[in-house]
Structure 1
Amino acid sequence: MTNTMATKGPGRAYRKGISLLKLAAMFPDETAAVKWFESVFWMNGCKCPRCNGISVYETKNTNGMPYRCRDCKRYFSVTTGTVLESTKLPLTIWVWAIFLEMTNLKGVSSMKLHRDLEIRQATAWHVLHRIREGLKPQLIEFFEGPIEADESYIGGLEKNKHADKKLKAGRGTVGKAIVLGVKDRKTKRIRAEVIEETTKPVMQGFINETRSKDASVFTDEHRSYKGLRNHTTVKHSQKQWAVSTILGEYAHTNGIESFWATLKRAYHGTYHHLSKKHLNRYVIQFAGKHNLRGLDTIDQMVMVVRGMVGRRARLKDLIA
């Protein structure tokens, strides 16, 4: 994997995509899929996921565990120690599922994946949650800035709810989940998460742990942003959408607001409803996809698979 941005096309970053026919040619059978996952998971050579031993050998084990470690004596496969562990699906299905998720800007619903891959809808739902694990950042994003910060509200309209589910107080943001996001102007990377409340400690804490000490931050006039270091406010209530700073920077929050637009289009157009329990998984999913969008399709898939190492998303935990 090159892991670099592809060459520039006219006026925009050019990414090398993969057609459906090409993907089918790349992964004609299960053997090809297994070899690809091995090359990604074990890019520095095969090692035991149980004890990290490098003295391993292939066996004739017919129970799906074709490797054994000489150090700990345990058997393992390419999926052991990853989010794919214990999967009963062929790895070709996983290749296609990852491809479909990464090539659809607004994501893929479990119903569509169920139809496209001819698997149960419940299985497709679990597959997509396991792919989301691969899109989680390994570490907290740390941005040099300037950064844009903004909060958004996700959830259905009260008027569209059944009478017994409507909330009786307030209006506008009542009943919606709060999501806070930060976008780094320099790298164009995004970090976003669901937060419990729009208090100053919560919002400023999230922003400050995401940026370097001297990074400039641009926000709207929400009161909880007041007091941030190197802070410039864009007063949307006064029809102000951008402002020049004393450092010659152009302060606005258009970048992070564009991310909210994508997330909300996915909410309404693909998923239609997201439970508060799992909303943060979807938010992190779309931030992760945004941060990989400059890579070629195959490199995006590789990065997702690498993110699956050392993680689990067991069904019993997801539905608990």
Structure 2
Amino acid sequence: MSETMLAALTNIRTAEDMVVAFRDEEQCRRLLESMVWPAGRVCPACGYKRSIAIAGRDIGKRRARPGLYQCSSGDCRFQFTVTTHTPLHSTKLPLSVWLKGMWLMLQSDKGLSSVRLAEALGVSQPTAWRMGHALRLMAAREHMLDGTVEIDHFYLGGRARINPDDPPPGRGRKGLPNTQKTPVMVIVQRPDDVTPGTPAGDARAAVVTGLSLRAAARAAEAQIDPDAYLMSDEATAFIALGENYARHDTVKHSSREYVRDAVHVNSVEG
């Protein structure tokens, strides 16, 4: 979480202060932009650091919504907002509701149940439950994984039930049966101290749309510090992704290489 955003939330002392601070949707959008882009706007599709604001309803135009930007890269031209490719992606709730929920969660030392969050925000319990998960993901970005970081992917799920009346299933990616398995990206930070009894490194996982470079980069850029030492297997997406970090080493599982000195991905595979 950026220092600007954290200060804006922690300086609110009472519920009345919260109502005043988050009464304006435009101000809420600016606060959220300072949280998501502390060093300036970045295109969530390609990572390009230059973009233009598209004239919207906030200045009298009707075609575009306020806070819509377009990537200036000639190969991308992707249009995005502050919530694009974040846990708040495609939200229908006002940003003021999200920020009120974040403030309430920060004020609670022992967590806040979805029932209590729903009562405080005036939303349904299922909506509050989804908000809680999204807000925790946003807060987790305060600490990027650094040092030695391992990355890998796997498929989550089981085989589809076989119906004798159905035609034979096709074949999926890498010869996997055509099931409803979900691709997941897993990232593990190795601890600096390996003495027994010391805390383990952080572990995070994210559901991805596929195993492409774009999907891998999107999952990694929000979690891994650019100065990290990345370790992975020889997957094409991971090899290309390694160029974004200070160091990158791989092990070649196809050649039955699983450990080379300190280079391995055994932690993340475990």
User: Normalization by structure 2: what TM-score?
Assistant: 0.47
TM-score normalised per structure 1: 0.40
Higher relative contact order (CA 8 A, sep 6+): 1
